[in-house]
Amino acid sequence: MNKSVCVIGLGYVGLPLALLSVEKGYTVYGLEVHEKKIDFIKQNYPQILLNHPFALKANIVIIAVPTPVDERKMPDLTDVKNACSMIAENLDHAGRLIILESTVNPFVSRKIMLPIFEEKGFKEGRDFYLAHCPERIDPGNKRWDVSNIPRVVGGISDEALKRAINYYKDILSGEVMSMSSIEAAEMTKIYENSLRAVNIAFANEMAIVMQNMKLDVKEVLKGVKTKPFGLDLCNPSCGVGGHCIPVDPFYLIEESMKRGFDPRFLATAMKVNGYMPSYTVSLLMHAMNDVGKSIRGSTVGMLGVSYKKNVEDLRESPALDIIKKVNSLGAIIKIYDPYIPDYSNSTAEEVLNCDAVMLLTDHDEFLDYDYSKVSVLIDGKNALEPHKIGGVYKGIGR
C-alpha cells in the first residue's frame, strides 16, 4: 500500500513533520499559501510535493495551521475551519485519516471540526477518521526534536485512534501515548502550557517583589535550587514569547468561562506575564533618570528581537512590544539581531554605543560582548553579570 501524507501548513510544526515523513518512506504533499514559505520550500525541499492537485487524496491529511488569539484574547479558529472545509470538499469514502496537530480547546475537534464533515454527508468511523495529536516542538532544542519528543493522541473513534497511533509510531522514536478521548488529548497541550505560564508568572512577580526589596533574584534562585526535591523553577524575564505560552492559556480561560467557571488564578498569571514588557520599559526610564538623561532624543540599542535565544523566531516576542513602547517615548531605536537580519537596522557596535542598551534576547553571541563602556544596560534576560557593566545595570529582579 502506498504511504502518503498531506500536511496543510508548512510552518515550524508542519515542515519538520513533513520532512520526517519523507525520511520514513512516505510520499509527502504540502499545502501552503504564504509566498515566502513556498519559495523557500521549493528551493530547499523539492522532495515535498508542494500544492499538488492530488494532495488531499493522500491516505493521511494533517492540519498544522496557526491557531492564534484575536485582540480580545479569544481563540481564532479561522484557519482550522478553512482547512476542514477544503478537506471536506475533496473528501471521498476512502477512509482517509485526518489529524489535527494545531493547538485547540477541548471539544474543538468534536464540536467544530466534525460537523464540517458531517454536513457534507460523511460519517466519522466509516468514511473518514478524525484524530488529534497536539504539536510539541521546541525550536533550537538540540536534544528534543520532532522525531523523539513524546506525543499524545486521541481519536473521535477507536479506529481513528488506532490509525493515528500507527502513523506516529511509524515515524517517531519517542513514546506515543493513546488518550481515552480526543478531548483528553486536546486538554493535554493546553494544560502543559498553562502550567508553564503560571510558573513563569510567579517567577516574574517574585522578581518585581525582590527588586523592590533590593534583593538579587538570581542569587535567591541559586539558593533555592540547593533544595534537591519538590521544585520546578522558572527564570523571570522581560516577557513571554512564542506561539504557545502567551496564547494557549487563553483557550482554556475562554472554554472555562463558557462553562460557568472563571479561572481567576490563570487569568491573573497571564496579566502578570503581559505586564513584563511595560515593567522592563519602566526599568529603562529609572535608569535614564539615574544618569540624568531623558529617553526622548536618546539612542536606545536593542540586542535581540527573537522570542528565544539562538533561533530565528519573532512570534509573540516581547521585544516587539518593548521596542514599540520605547519608540513611543521618543527614543531613537537601533536594533541588532544576528538571527533576524531583516529586522535589524544597526550593527552590534552601533547598538553598544547607544545612550542605553536593552538586552532582550540572550543569544550566545551577546554574552561575549564587552559592556564595560555601556552607560545604561537593561538586562531583560538576567544573562549578564552586573559587575561587568560599565554604567547603570538593571535586570529583572536585580
Our CA angle for 342, 357, 370, nearest 5°, is 95
Per-residue model confidence (pLDDT) at position 243: 86
350-375 pLDDT, tens digit each: 999 999 999 999 999 999 999 999 99
Select from 67, 68, 75, 69 the least CA-distant residue to 258: 75
In this structure, how many other beta carbons lie within 10 angstroms of the beta carbon of residue 7? 29
Report pLDDT for 188.
97
Residue 177 amino acid letter:
M
Which residues participate in catalysis according to the annotation? 244
Question: What digits encode the pLDDT tens for the residues 17-71?
Answer: 999 999 999 999 999 999 999 999 999 999 999 999 999 999 999 999 999 999 8
Residue 305, pLDDT > 70, answer yes
> From CA 148, how far away is CA 254, in angstroms rounded?
32
Q: Which residue type is seen at 150?
A: P
CB burial of 161-196 (b: ≥16 within 10 Å; e: otherwise) equals bbbbbebbeebbebebebbebbbebbbbbbebbbeb
The Cα–Cα gap between 299 and 279 comes to 20
Read off the pLDDT of residues 251-290 as tens digits, 9 standing for 90 and up: 999 999 999 999 999 999 999 999 999 999 999 999 999 9
Tens of pLDDT along 207-233? 999 999 999 999 999 999 999 988 889
